[in-house]
Structure formats: structure tokens, C-alpha cells
Amino acid sequence: MTRSGNIRGGLALGILVALTTAVGCGSASDSSRDAARSPAVTPPAQVAAQPPDVTAEGARPRVVILGDSLTAGLGLPVGQAYPTLLQRRLTDEGLNYEVVNAGVSGDTSAGGLSRLEWALAGDVRLLVVALGGNDGLRGLPVEELHQNLARIIERAQAGGIGVVIAGMEAPPNYGNDYIVAFHDVYPALAREYHVALVPFLLQGVAGSEVLNQADGIHPTAAGARIVADNVWAVLRPLAIERRREGHPGS
């Protein structure tokens, strides 16, 4: 598909996201329910409140997913949030990582940047950046989104951490120029910093009544499985590559 085709596709997705990506609603505590049932994943409330425990004996190398309520799993038990599903897939592949759900409801790219030091505590090997939905919802300047995400990537790469960036789309109420500029931030960063790109985190989920909760905003358990598929397609090769380079699971 040509670049113009990609943008047109992005615009269509942006219209869907206008209905489904009000990611600032709710609180992180809702997504932490039943955390005891999924002890392999560090829950979002812990990451938001304090740096995770990095001194525990036998602590595993980490995959951190830095995001908002879509990552926190708002409205779902933590066992059904997509970071937990990714943990299961890594384990099934014999890749010995601990997934840290660093999703905080309402977070913008600036909020993610402000808590990055805590989120990257410990032996973090891979970082998935899933931020921007709230920036678009609030019509925040695209330049700030680009700058904040760039700084997150730079800090991670300075620590030798592999990065995946997950794209998001802006709602249409700010006009086509904003939508296109917002859409372009993610592939531009992927090219600039040579990081892996999930083109659209909510691909196959946004706009679906069946795959979103009653609020029309956050994915259902079935929707979260599709989000996990979207991320896994990009995350898995990186995890395997790092294993071959002598990282966890080798």
C-alpha cells in the first residue's frame, strides 16, 4: 500500500477511534481486580504508586508495557488484560520474561514520560510504548506528542532496551490536518529511531460493538485478545532475537 493509502486508512481508523478511544475514563484500580490470580504480571496500580520491587530474589528480566487505560485493562480482571495475555504467550514460547503492566488510566504521553524512570526500574529488556490516545482525545499539540514519545524512546535505548511503539489515531473533530499529523508521528518515530512499530493498537477492535464494553470505549476480553495479537505479532520476533543474542530464554 502506498503512503497515501496508509494515510487514508489511518483517517478511517481515526473516525472509529473517535467513538472508541476515550481512554482517559475510569481509574486504574478497576483493572487491578483479581490481580492475585495473575501473579506473573506486575499490576498497573503498583507501577503507578511506586517503583516495582527489583530486588526480589529470582527476579526475571522484564518487558514493560507503558500505556493508559487500554493497557491497564480498565473494566477487565487483570488476567484478561492484554499484557497478561502477552505474558502467557511469552511463557508458552519459553521466553523467560516478566511482563510489567505499566498502564495508568488517563495518562498522556507526557504522563508516561514523567513516570518512565519508575517504569524502567530493574532489568528491563523490552519496552512497549502504547501512549497517545489521550493526547489525541484532548487535541494536544502533535509536536508535544512527538517530543514526549521521542524522549521515552531515547531514554530506553540509552539503557540498551529494545523498543516497540504502538500507533494510535486521533478523533476527527480536530480536522484532517491534525488527524494526518497525529497519524504520521508513529511511523516517523519508528523510522527515526529504528524501532518496531505496531501500526494501530486497536486494529480490528475500534468501532466494534461486540469487541468493546458497554461504555463503547474499552475492549472486552475478546477485544483484548485481538489487541494482544496486534502487539504479539511485533513483540515476538524481538523477544526471540534477544534470546538468540544471549538474552532471557537462551
Angle between helix axes 176-193 and 142-158 (nearest 10 degrees) is 20
pLDDT of residue 215: 80
pLDDT (tens digit, 9 = 90+) per residue, 181-226?
A: 999 999 999 999 999 999 999 999 988 899 988 887 789 999 999 9
Domain interval for residue 204: 3-244
Please tell me which residue, 48 or 176, carries the higher pLDDT value: 176
List 32, 69, 105, 109, catalytic entry:
69
Stretch 59-72: mean pLDDT = 94
In a domain, 24, yes or no: yes
**pLDDT over threshold 50, residue 159:** yes
pLDDT of residue 212: 82
In a domain, 249, yes or no: no
pLDDT of residue 226: 97
% of residues, the chain, pLDDT over 70: 74
Stretch 32-37: mean pLDDT = 35
In a domain, 212, yes or no: yes
In a domain, 235, yes or no: yes
List 31, 38, 183, 218, catalytic entry:
218
pLDDT of residue 246: 55
- pLDDT band at residue 30 using 50, 70 and 90 as cut-offs: very low
pLDDT of residue 230: 98
Distance between CA atoms of residues 242 and 250, nearest Å: 9
pLDDT of residue 43: 57
pLDDT of residue 216: 74
Sign of CA dihedral 158, 182, 216, 22: positive
**pLDDT over threshold 80, residue 74:** yes
pLDDT of residue 111: 98
Helices (H), the chain: 3-20, 44-49, 69-72, 82-92, 109-114, 116-119, 133-137, 142-158, 176-193, 221-244
pTM for the structure as a whole: 0.81
pLDDT of residue 29: 36
In a domain, 29, yes or no: yes
In a domain, 250, yes or no: no
30 assigned to active site: no
Looking at 17-21, 122-126, 158-162, 183-187, which range is the least confident one?
A: 17-21
Question: How many domains does one find in the chain?
Answer: 1
215 assigned to active site: yes
Distance between CA atoms of residues 175 and 80, nearest Å: 35
Q: How high is the mean pLDDT of the chain? A: 82
Q: CATH number for the domain including 163?
A: 3.40.50.1110
Task: Based on DSSP, count helices (H) and strands (E) in the chain, helices before strands.
Answer: 10, 5
**pLDDT over threshold 70, residue 88:** yes
**pLDDT over threshold 60, residue 136:** yes
In a domain, 113, yes or no: yes
List 34, 114, 215, 250, catalytic entry:
215
106 neighbors 68 (Cβ within 8 angstroms): yes
pLDDT (tens digit, 9 = 90+) per residue, 93-128?
A: 999 999 999 999 999 999 999 999 999 999 999 999
pLDDT (tens digit, 9 = 90+) per residue, 223-248?
A: 999 999 999 999 999 998 877 765 55
247 assigned to active site: no
